[in-house]
């Protein structure tokens, strides 16, 4: 084979969709998984170019995209739409469609039906849901439908009110043990990974060591097998204060605000658009156009 087809094959392989087994292999090798949320196609392209393994179309969309005060109001239809935008653009990373509040709690059947919609209509590769206990049965049902499912324990924003607000979980021996049992129950039910949110680093590290599937931490310390951050937090796009576990890698909100202020000022002053931003018309066509207008004015 000449070099060109070999290069093409190598680049196609580099862009080939990751599989769930590769996530497990990464854990066994000690390679960390990078995960970020995204809610539209351009963001998915940027996330893929940066090398993330997984893109989560999170129900945080309720807050960062739709402007609600919690994650509860976002609907399955809205999540399907956002997931479709991301899955249409992401080639290599696995796209996780998040099951929103109200789309899986009622029964295993409801959970499977909602998961199927996220895959079929949204193009998701995997789905995620919050909680353990009865939710382990939802995970089992979805896994038995041959759908890769990710669990989510610790601070589960959909039940923040019941948990007493957005606060760290597992800070006593008893609650840490309960968290461990929950994570293990999800793994045994067939979860391919477990998100640990707002959990003490030591507890998350112990859980990560004991689970066979990867853990993905958010506010759960470096001992997790991967990390996830919300797009708007990571990039400094949210005006609201970010949780302590967020590192803002940019202040794009300020950049965008500055750019928009400059644009408004340029429009008002007439310094935008310039000739480079406009289209020309050949001189003879313009002369004919002006003559036709003059003619009309005469007649009018
Ligand atoms: O919806 C979301 O963005 C999430 C992450 C915070 C893990 O569930």
Centre of ligand 1 to C-alpha 60, Å, is 6
Dist. CA 149–CA 195, nearest whole Å: 11
Query: At 231, is the pLDDT very low, low, confident or very high (cuts 50, 70, 90)?
Result: very high
Which residue's CA is the closest to the ligand 1 atom numbered 5? 58
pLDDT band at 4 (very low <50, low <70, confident <90, very high): low
Asked if residue 183 and residue 279 are part of one domain, the reply reads no
How many whole angstroms separate alpha carbon 239 and alpha carbon 63? 12
Specify the residue with its C-alpha closest to ligand 1, atom 1. Answer: 58
Please give the C-alpha separations between residue 107 and each of 43, 62, 86, 112, 141, in angstroms, as whole numbers.
34, 23, 28, 9, 10
Residue 241, pLDDT score: 81
- Please determine, for residue 160, whether its predicted confidence score (pLDDT) is greater than 90: no
Q: Which ligand 1 atom is the nearest neighbour of the CA of 157? A: 8
Residue having the nearest C-alpha atom to atom 4 of ligand 1: 58
The answer on pLDDT for 3 being more than 70 is: no
Co-location of 213 and 128 in the same domain: yes
Kindly tell me if the per-residue pLDDT of 143 is higher than 70: yes
Q: Both 47 and 91 in a single domain?
A: yes
Task: Tell me what the mean pLDDT of segment 113-135 comes to.
Answer: 97
Give the pLDDT score at 99: 98
Domain boundary among 211, 235, 251: 251
Residues 184 and 236 in one domain: yes
Average pLDDT over residues 228-240: 93
Query: Is the C-beta atom of 74 inside 6 A of ligand 1?
Result: no
Residues 48-79 have pLDDT tens digits of 999 999 999 999 999 999 999 999 999 999 99
Could you tell me if 201 and 277 lie in one domain? no
Q: What is the mean pLDDT of residues 214-234?
A: 98
* 95 lies in the same domain as 177: yes
> pLDDT: is 178 or 7 the higher one?
178
Structural domain including 267 reads: 255-299
10-24 pLDDT, tens digit per residue, is 565 567 999 999 999
Residues 120 and 222 both lie in one domain: yes
Binding site membership of 59 for ligand 1 (Cβ less than 6 Å): yes
For residue 8, is pLDDT > 70? no
Q: Is 285 a catalytic residue?
A: no
Considering the chain, what is the average pLDDT of its residues?
Answer: 94
Residue 133, Ramachandran bin (φ over 0: left; ψ between -120 and 50: alpha; else beta): left
DSSP-derived letter for residue 277 is G
Place of tokens 């895959």: 119
Percent of the chain with pLDDT over 90: 88
Distance 144 CA to ligand 1 centre (A): 24
CATH number at residue 181: 3.20.20.60
Are both 66 and 190 inside the same structural domain?
yes
- Same domain? For 276 and 247 the reply is no
More confident residue, 116 or 241: 116
User: For residue 7, is pLDDT > 60?
Assistant: no
In this structure, are 137 and 90 located in the same domain?
yes
Structure confidence by residue, pLDDT tens digits, 236-266: 998 778 889 999 999 999 999 999 999 999 9
pLDDT value for 166: 85
Residue 6 has pLDDT above 70, yes or no: no
State how far the Cα of 203 lies from the Cα of 277, in Å rounded to an integer. Answer: 57
> Which pTM does this prediction carry?
0.92
Among 58, 68, 73, the mutation site with the greatest number of ligand 1 atoms within 8 A of its Cβ is 58
Q: Check whether residue 269 and residue 244 sit in a common domain.
A: no
| Total number of domains constituting the chain | 2
- For 258-285, write each residue's pLDDT tens digit: 999 999 999 999 999 999 999 999 999 9
pLDDT in tens, 21-30: 999 999 999 9
Full DSSP string of 71-115 = STT--HHHHHHHHHHHHTT-SSSEEEEEPPTTSSSS-HHHHHHHH
Same-domain pairing of 259 and 123: no
């Amino acid at each position: 084979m000449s070099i060109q087809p070999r290069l093409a094959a190598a680049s196609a392989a580099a862009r080939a969709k990751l599989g769930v087994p590769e996530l497990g292999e990464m854990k066994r090798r000690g390679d960390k998984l990078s995960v970020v949320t995204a809610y539209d196609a351009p963001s998915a392209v940027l996330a893929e170019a940066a090398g993330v393994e997984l893109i989560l179309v999170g129900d945080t969309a309720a807050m960062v995209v739709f402007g609600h005060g919690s994650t509860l109001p976002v609907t399955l239809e809205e999540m399907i739409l956002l997931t479709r935008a991301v899955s249409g653009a992401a080639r290599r990373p696995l796209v996780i469609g998040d099951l929103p509040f109200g789309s899986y709690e009622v029964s295993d059947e409801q959970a499977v039906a909602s998961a199927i919609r996220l895959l079929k209509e949204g193009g998701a590769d995997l789905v995620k849901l919050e909680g353990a206990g009865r939710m382990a049965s939802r995970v089992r049902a979805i896994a038995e439908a041959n759908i890769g499912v990710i669990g989510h324990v610790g601070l589960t924003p959909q039940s923040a009110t019941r948990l007493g607000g957005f606060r760290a979980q597992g800070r006593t021996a008893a609650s840490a043990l309960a968290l461990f049992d929950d994570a293990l129950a999800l793994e045994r039910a067939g979860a391919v990974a477990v998100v640990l949110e707002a959990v003490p680093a030591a507890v998350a590290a112990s859980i990560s060591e004991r689970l066979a599937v990867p853990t993905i931490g958010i506010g759960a310390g470096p001992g997790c097998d991967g990390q996830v951050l919300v797009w708007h937090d990571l990039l400094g796009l949210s005006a609201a204060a970010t949780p302590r576990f967020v590192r803002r890698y940019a202040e794009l909100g300020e950049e965008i605000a500055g750019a928009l202020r400059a644009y408004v000022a340029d429009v008002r002053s007439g310094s935008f658009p310039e000739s480079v931003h406009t289209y020309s018309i050949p001189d003879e066509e313009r002369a004919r156009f002006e003559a036709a207008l003059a003619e009309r004015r005469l007649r009018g």
